[in-house]
Amino acid sequence: MAEDRDSELEDLLSKAKREPVLLAEETVVCPACGKPTLKVREYLYEVPYFGKIVLGEGRCSNCGYRYSDVRVAEVSEPKKIIVRVNGEKELRYLLIKSATAALLIKEKGYEMVPGPASTGFITTVEGILHRFLDVLEALCAGRDDPTCRDNKAWLERAIEGLESFTLIICDFEGTSKVVGDNVEEKPIDEECERLYEKSLEYLRR
Protein backbone atom coordinates (compact mmCIF):
# COMPACT_ATOMS: atom_id res chain seq x y z
CA MET A 1 0.00 0.00 0.00
CA ALA A 2 1.14 3.56 -0.73
CA GLU A 3 0.67 4.47 2.94
CA ASP A 4 3.12 1.74 3.97
CA ARG A 5 5.67 2.56 1.28
CA ASP A 6 5.76 6.27 2.05
CA SER A 7 5.84 6.15 5.84
CA GLU A 8 9.36 7.59 5.65
CA LEU A 9 7.98 11.10 6.07
CA GLU A 10 6.19 10.22 9.29
CA ASP A 11 9.31 8.47 10.59
CA LEU A 12 11.46 11.53 9.88
CA LEU A 13 8.99 13.95 11.44
CA SER A 14 8.89 11.82 14.58
CA LYS A 15 12.66 12.33 14.86
CA ALA A 16 12.57 16.09 14.29
CA LYS A 17 15.20 17.86 16.37
CA ARG A 18 12.84 20.59 17.56
CA GLU A 19 9.21 21.66 17.32
CA PRO A 20 8.08 22.72 13.83
CA VAL A 21 7.79 26.42 13.02
CA LEU A 22 4.68 27.71 11.26
CA LEU A 23 5.91 29.65 8.22
CA ALA A 24 2.69 30.56 6.44
CA GLU A 25 -1.05 30.04 6.45
CA GLU A 26 -3.38 31.00 3.62
CA THR A 27 -6.58 30.00 1.85
CA VAL A 28 -6.21 29.24 -1.86
CA VAL A 29 -8.21 27.84 -4.77
CA CYS A 30 -8.71 24.09 -4.50
CA PRO A 31 -7.43 22.18 -7.57
CA ALA A 32 -10.17 19.58 -7.12
CA CYS A 33 -13.33 21.71 -6.89
CA GLY A 34 -12.12 25.15 -8.00
CA LYS A 35 -13.41 26.92 -4.89
CA PRO A 36 -11.24 29.29 -2.78
CA THR A 37 -11.66 27.00 0.22
CA LEU A 38 -8.34 25.14 0.52
CA LYS A 39 -6.62 26.22 3.74
CA VAL A 40 -2.89 25.54 3.53
CA ARG A 41 -0.22 25.73 6.22
CA GLU A 42 3.54 25.43 5.77
CA TYR A 43 5.85 24.29 8.55
CA LEU A 44 9.62 24.27 8.88
CA TYR A 45 11.09 21.06 10.34
CA GLU A 46 14.67 20.02 11.03
CA VAL A 47 15.01 16.29 10.44
CA PRO A 48 17.80 13.69 10.12
CA TYR A 49 19.54 13.24 6.73
CA PHE A 50 17.92 16.22 5.01
CA GLY A 51 18.34 19.03 7.53
CA LYS A 52 15.64 21.67 7.22
CA ILE A 53 12.55 20.79 5.19
CA VAL A 54 9.32 22.63 4.46
CA LEU A 55 6.16 20.59 4.84
CA GLY A 56 2.88 21.88 3.45
CA GLU A 57 -0.52 20.47 4.38
CA GLY A 58 -4.10 21.50 3.88
CA ARG A 59 -7.73 20.48 3.51
CA CYS A 60 -10.53 21.90 1.38
CA SER A 61 -13.60 22.74 3.48
CA ASN A 62 -15.83 22.44 0.40
CA CYS A 63 -14.91 19.04 -1.11
CA GLY A 64 -12.55 17.48 1.44
CA TYR A 65 -9.53 17.43 -0.88
CA ARG A 66 -6.30 17.00 1.08
CA TYR A 67 -3.06 18.67 0.04
CA SER A 68 0.47 17.73 1.08
CA ASP A 69 3.87 18.83 -0.17
CA VAL A 70 7.47 18.59 0.97
CA ARG A 71 10.76 20.12 -0.18
CA VAL A 72 14.16 20.92 1.22
CA ALA A 73 14.24 24.40 2.72
CA GLU A 74 17.56 25.49 1.25
CA VAL A 75 17.08 26.17 -2.46
CA SER A 76 20.02 25.44 -4.77
CA GLU A 77 20.56 25.78 -8.50
CA PRO A 78 18.53 23.62 -10.90
CA LYS A 79 20.20 20.23 -10.99
CA LYS A 80 20.17 16.75 -12.43
CA ILE A 81 20.45 14.08 -9.74
CA ILE A 82 21.75 10.71 -10.95
CA VAL A 83 21.30 7.59 -8.80
CA ARG A 84 22.98 4.42 -10.02
CA VAL A 85 21.06 1.47 -8.61
CA ASN A 86 22.84 -1.88 -8.47
CA GLY A 87 20.89 -3.72 -5.78
CA GLU A 88 19.05 -3.58 -2.49
CA LYS A 89 21.39 -1.02 -0.91
CA GLU A 90 20.48 1.72 -3.39
CA LEU A 91 16.78 0.78 -3.27
CA ARG A 92 16.78 1.92 0.37
CA TYR A 93 18.16 5.40 -0.39
CA LEU A 94 15.89 8.11 1.01
CA LEU A 95 14.92 10.97 -1.26
CA ILE A 96 12.84 14.10 -1.42
CA LYS A 97 11.26 14.71 -4.82
CA SER A 98 10.00 18.28 -5.08
CA ALA A 99 6.70 19.13 -6.75
CA THR A 100 8.42 20.48 -9.88
CA ALA A 101 10.91 17.64 -10.36
CA ALA A 102 10.67 15.08 -13.17
CA LEU A 103 11.71 11.43 -12.91
CA LEU A 104 13.34 9.20 -15.50
CA ILE A 105 14.47 5.57 -15.42
CA LYS A 106 16.98 5.85 -18.21
CA GLU A 107 17.38 2.23 -19.31
CA LYS A 108 13.62 1.73 -19.79
CA GLY A 109 12.59 5.23 -20.83
CA TYR A 110 10.05 5.49 -18.00
CA GLU A 111 9.17 9.13 -17.34
CA MET A 112 7.13 10.93 -14.69
CA VAL A 113 6.76 14.67 -15.26
CA PRO A 114 5.01 17.15 -12.96
CA GLY A 115 1.52 18.35 -13.79
CA PRO A 116 -0.62 21.17 -12.37
CA ALA A 117 -1.56 19.19 -9.24
CA SER A 118 1.88 17.66 -8.56
CA THR A 119 3.21 17.69 -5.01
CA GLY A 120 6.50 16.81 -3.40
CA PHE A 121 7.04 13.70 -1.32
CA ILE A 122 9.59 11.75 0.69
CA THR A 123 10.12 8.12 -0.25
CA THR A 124 12.87 5.66 -1.19
CA VAL A 125 14.20 4.60 -4.58
CA GLU A 126 12.08 1.47 -4.16
CA GLY A 127 9.07 3.71 -3.50
CA ILE A 128 9.66 5.40 -6.86
CA LEU A 129 9.56 1.99 -8.57
CA HIS A 130 6.25 1.24 -6.86
CA ARG A 131 4.84 4.52 -8.16
CA PHE A 132 5.85 3.62 -11.71
CA LEU A 133 4.30 0.18 -11.21
CA ASP A 134 1.04 1.73 -9.97
CA VAL A 135 0.85 3.91 -13.09
CA LEU A 136 1.63 0.96 -15.36
CA GLU A 137 -1.05 -1.22 -13.76
CA ALA A 138 -3.62 1.56 -14.19
CA LEU A 139 -2.70 2.03 -17.86
CA CYS A 140 -2.70 -1.70 -18.57
CA ALA A 141 -5.84 -2.62 -16.61
CA GLY A 142 -7.95 -5.09 -18.56
CA ARG A 143 -5.39 -5.44 -21.36
CA ASP A 144 -3.56 -8.64 -22.31
CA ASP A 145 -0.59 -6.83 -23.80
CA PRO A 146 2.93 -8.35 -24.01
CA THR A 147 4.50 -4.90 -23.58
CA CYS A 148 2.55 -4.42 -20.36
CA ARG A 149 3.59 -7.85 -19.11
CA ASP A 150 7.26 -7.24 -19.93
CA ASN A 151 7.35 -3.85 -18.24
CA LYS A 152 5.53 -5.14 -15.17
CA ALA A 153 7.95 -8.07 -14.90
CA TRP A 154 10.95 -5.72 -15.18
CA LEU A 155 9.61 -3.40 -12.46
CA GLU A 156 8.90 -6.33 -10.16
CA ARG A 157 12.45 -7.63 -10.64
CA ALA A 158 13.84 -4.15 -10.03
CA ILE A 159 11.85 -3.85 -6.80
CA GLU A 160 13.45 -7.13 -5.65
CA GLY A 161 16.93 -5.74 -6.41
CA LEU A 162 17.46 -7.98 -9.44
CA GLU A 163 17.88 -5.23 -12.05
CA SER A 164 20.48 -2.49 -12.33
CA PHE A 165 19.26 0.88 -13.58
CA THR A 166 19.81 4.63 -13.44
CA LEU A 167 17.25 6.85 -11.73
CA ILE A 168 17.41 10.48 -12.82
CA ILE A 169 15.69 13.35 -11.02
CA CYS A 170 15.53 16.56 -13.02
CA ASP A 171 14.99 19.21 -10.36
CA PHE A 172 14.20 22.59 -11.91
CA GLU A 173 14.00 24.49 -8.60
CA GLY A 174 16.84 22.85 -6.66
CA THR A 175 14.66 21.57 -3.81
CA SER A 176 15.07 17.79 -4.24
CA LYS A 177 17.67 15.64 -2.52
CA VAL A 178 18.83 12.01 -2.40
CA VAL A 179 20.78 10.55 0.52
CA GLY A 180 23.22 7.84 -0.56
CA ASP A 181 26.67 6.97 -1.91
CA ASN A 182 26.01 6.27 -5.59
CA VAL A 183 24.51 9.72 -6.16
CA GLU A 184 25.82 12.41 -8.48
CA GLU A 185 24.57 15.94 -9.07
CA LYS A 186 25.10 17.73 -12.39
CA PRO A 187 23.73 20.87 -14.07
CA ILE A 188 20.47 20.62 -16.01
CA ASP A 189 21.12 19.30 -19.53
CA GLU A 190 19.19 18.64 -22.75
CA GLU A 191 17.66 15.47 -21.32
CA CYS A 192 16.16 17.43 -18.43
CA GLU A 193 15.15 20.31 -20.69
CA ARG A 194 13.09 17.85 -22.76
CA LEU A 195 11.24 16.69 -19.63
CA TYR A 196 10.76 20.31 -18.58
CA GLU A 197 9.11 21.11 -21.93
CA LYS A 198 6.87 18.08 -21.52
CA SER A 199 5.78 19.29 -18.07
CA LEU A 200 4.93 22.71 -19.57
CA GLU A 201 2.65 20.94 -22.07
CA TYR A 202 0.67 19.46 -19.18
CA LEU A 203 0.41 22.88 -17.52
CA ARG A 204 -0.94 24.46 -20.71
CA ARG A 205 -3.80 21.96 -20.98
Checking if the pLDDT of 133 tops 50, the result is yes
Let me know: does 188 contact 79? Beta carbons within 8 Å: yes
pLDDT surpasses 60 at 6: no
pLDDT tens digit string along 45-74? 999 889 999 999 999 999 999 999 999 998
pLDDT at 13 over 50: yes
- Region for 119 from its dihedrals, namely left if φ exceeds 0, alpha if ψ lies in -120 to 50, beta otherwise: beta
Instruction: Taking residues 145-154, report their average pLDDT.
Output: 95
Rounded Cα distance, 197 and 195, in Å: 5
Rounded to an integer, what distance in angstroms lies between the CA atom of residue 142 and that of residue 4? 26
pTM: 0.85
Start-to-end CA distance of the chain, whole Å, equals 31
| Contact in structure between 169 and 110 (CB atoms under 8 Å) | no
Q: What is the pLDDT of residues 167-187, one digit of tens each?
A: 999 999 899 999 999 999 999
User: Structural domain boundaries of the chain?
Assistant: 2-72, 79-204
How many residues does this entry show for the chain?
205
At residue 195, the 3 state secondary structure works out as helix
Percent of the chain with pLDDT over 90: 75
Residue 72's pLDDT is: 93
Assigned CATH class of 79-204: mainly beta
Q: How far apart are CA 184 and CA 203, in angstroms?
A: 29
pLDDT of residue 2 exceeding 50: no
